[in-house]
């Protein structure tokens, strides 16, 4: 018999994410996490293959981040960011300005990635309003995902399966194919030319479309999007909530294409997966549109916990680790190992593709039922959470070769079993 669940674990009062509560099983009770291992209440340990939704880039409980948060807790856990200032927040804003490409120098803090996107959309609309134009539409891309709040889901591809029940509440947006080919590029130019006077911005996930299926595009595609926005006078929003802070092999994915967006959204790994924090960082052109003698031109937004000192201390400590430790070299090593050890899956019936970008490895299946494979990973001592048609790994950058090999072996075994079943040949 399986061990009894802890007394505190029930579904009486907690509403779980992305779950049908009428049929959802109890989640696995976690009592600790260190490095790349999650400790369960029954004593089992799981190697985390997805770094808690891609946040824990340095692993769990890194001593440098823990010490920074503890020290900040002793001094100042929180104070409002309106009319008052604290050193961790202002230091972090200055460090992000140095880290990010071009003139992305003006950070607006919030608590989550979805809110960071909402803020970017509001900035783009008001940018044009402050210039005397009414532009409320956005152009986003097929298979893109930008968050669960109403504005963010409005620029999330409806065909991705997110929020179908809320279709009536979406603001009407335009969706285009990522312009990879000459035909797609010509069509993208046509769309921009026809609609540019009502479009506030184009929004893109640089190089990797995350929750929409872990789909990759190259630097040339991203550079083309930037150039097309310039030709038609449009703002470009880069949603780097998933890709930022090393995941694709650069500190930000835009750097691979030498692209400077007008607004960039950051979250997830910003604090090393320790505390909630997000930043929407604007370039000078956008920021200056809000500076005037008219108060009505000001950006009227202010999350209660924006710039939380504990979260900012964690983010500063995380940036310290990127400066002191060989994180990007570790990402390159992870990429090479993922490519070698996931490649055998390509020959399996029912496998559509195997692809790797930085510390992201993907095995794409010929079915949208990959989530059914989740229990098979737990029995192998790993935490992997397939979704849609993809089984993927996105581990902490600090993972050891042996632990990563355990993860890739689990993927090969589970996908092989699936391939040999009737579903794999369906």
- The annotation status of 53 as a binding-site residue, yes or no, is yes
- The annotation status of 304 as a binding-site residue, yes or no, is yes
- The annotation status of 114 as a binding-site residue, yes or no, is yes
- Report the relative pairing of strands 199-204 and 235-239 from DSSP bridges: parallel
- The annotation status of 327 as a binding-site residue, yes or no, is no
Tell me whether residue 169 is one of the annotated catalytic residues: no
- The annotation status of 302 as a binding-site residue, yes or no, is yes
- The annotation status of 346 as a binding-site residue, yes or no, is no
Strand-pairing partners, residue 110, are 278
User: Would you give the DSSP letter of residue 216?
Assistant: E
SS3 category, 155: coil
List C-alpha distances in Å: 12 to 8, 22, 42. Answer: 10, 11, 21
- The annotation status of 110 as a binding-site residue, yes or no, is no
Phi first, then psi: give them for residue 111, nearest 5 degrees.
-110, -15
Residue 385, number of CB atoms within 10 A of its CB: 17
Across the beta sheet with 174-176, what order do the strands follow?
106-110, 278-282, 263-266, 235-239, 199-204, 137-141, 174-176
- Report the relative pairing of strands 351-357 and 360-365 from DSSP bridges: antiparallel
Q: Which of 239, 262, 389, 403 is catalytic?
A: 239
Tokens 């134009």 appear where?
133
Tell me whether residue 357 is one of the annotated catalytic residues: no
Residues 6+ apart with CB under 8 A from 419: 348, 349, 350, 351, 425
Tokens 């040339």 appear where?
220
- The annotation status of 385 as a binding-site residue, yes or no, is yes
- Report the relative pairing of strands 208-209 and 215-216 from DSSP bridges: antiparallel
Q: Which of 330, 353, 350, 352 is nearest to 399 (CA)?
A: 330
Q: Which of 60, 145, 262, 403 is catalytic?
A: 145
- Report the relative pairing of strands 278-282 and 106-110 from DSSP bridges: antiparallel
Residues 6+ apart with CB under 8 A from 211: 145, 160, 162, 242, 387
Q: Which of 262, 268, 389, 392 is catalytic?
A: 268
- List residues with catalytic annotation: 18, 145, 239, 268
Please state the residue numbers annotated as binding site for pyridoxal 5'-phosphate. Answer: 113-114, 239, 303-304
Please state the residue numbers annotated as binding site. Answer: 53, 113-114, 145, 239, 268, 302-304, 385
């Amino acid at each position: 018999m399986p061990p009894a669940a802890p007394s505190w674990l029930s579904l009486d009062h907690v509403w779980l994410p992305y779950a049908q509560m009428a049929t959802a099983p109890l989640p696995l009770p976690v009592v600790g996490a260190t490095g790349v291992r999650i400790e369960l209440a029954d004593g089992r340990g799981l190697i985390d293959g997805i770094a808690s939704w891609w946040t824990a880039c340095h692993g769990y409980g890194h001593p440098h981040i823990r010490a920074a948060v503890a020290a900040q807790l002793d001094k100042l856990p929180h104070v409002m960011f309106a009319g008052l200032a604290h050193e961790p927040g202002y230091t972090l804003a200055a460090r992000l300005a140095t880290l990010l490409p071009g003139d992305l120098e003006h950070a607006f803090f919030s608590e989550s990635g979805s809110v960071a996107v909402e803020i970017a959309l509001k900035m783009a609309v008001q940018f044009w309003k402050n210039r005397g134009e009414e532009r409320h539409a956005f152009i986003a891309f097929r298979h893109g995902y930008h968050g669960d709040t109403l504005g963010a889901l409005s620029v999330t591809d409806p065909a991705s399966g997110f929020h179908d029940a809320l279709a009536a509440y979406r603001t009407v947006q335009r969706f285009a194919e990522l312009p990879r080919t000459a035909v797609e590029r010509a069509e993208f130019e046509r769309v921009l030319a026809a609609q540019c006077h009502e479009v506030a911005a184009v929004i893109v996930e640089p190089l990797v479309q995350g929750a929409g299926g872990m789909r990759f595009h190259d630097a040339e595609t991203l550079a083309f999007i930037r150039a097309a926005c310039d030709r038609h006078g449009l703002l470009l929003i880069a949603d780097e909530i998933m890709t930022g802070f090393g995941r694709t092999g650069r500190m930000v994915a835009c750097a691979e294409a030498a692209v400077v967006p007008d607004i960039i959204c950051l979250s997830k790994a910003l604090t090393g997966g320790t505390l909630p924090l997000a930043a929407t960082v604007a370039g000078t052109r956008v920021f200056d549109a809000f500076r005037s003698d008219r108060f009505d031109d000001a950006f009227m937004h202010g999350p209660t916990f924006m710039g939380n000192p504990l979260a900012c201390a964690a983010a500063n400590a995380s940036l310290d680790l990127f400066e002191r430790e060989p994180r990007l070299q570790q990402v390159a090593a992870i990429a090479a190992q993922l490519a070698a050890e996931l490649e055998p899956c390509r020959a399996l019936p029912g496998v559509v593709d195997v692809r790797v970008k930085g510390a992201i490895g993907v095995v794409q299946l010929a079915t949208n039922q990959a989530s059914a494979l989740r229990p098979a990973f737990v029995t192998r001592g790993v935490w992997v959470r397939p979704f849609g048609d993809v089984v993927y790994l996105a581990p902490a950058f600090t993972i050891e070769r042996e632990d990563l090999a355990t993860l890739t072996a689990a993927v090969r075994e589970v996908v092989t079993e699936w391939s040999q079943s009737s579903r794999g040949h369906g």
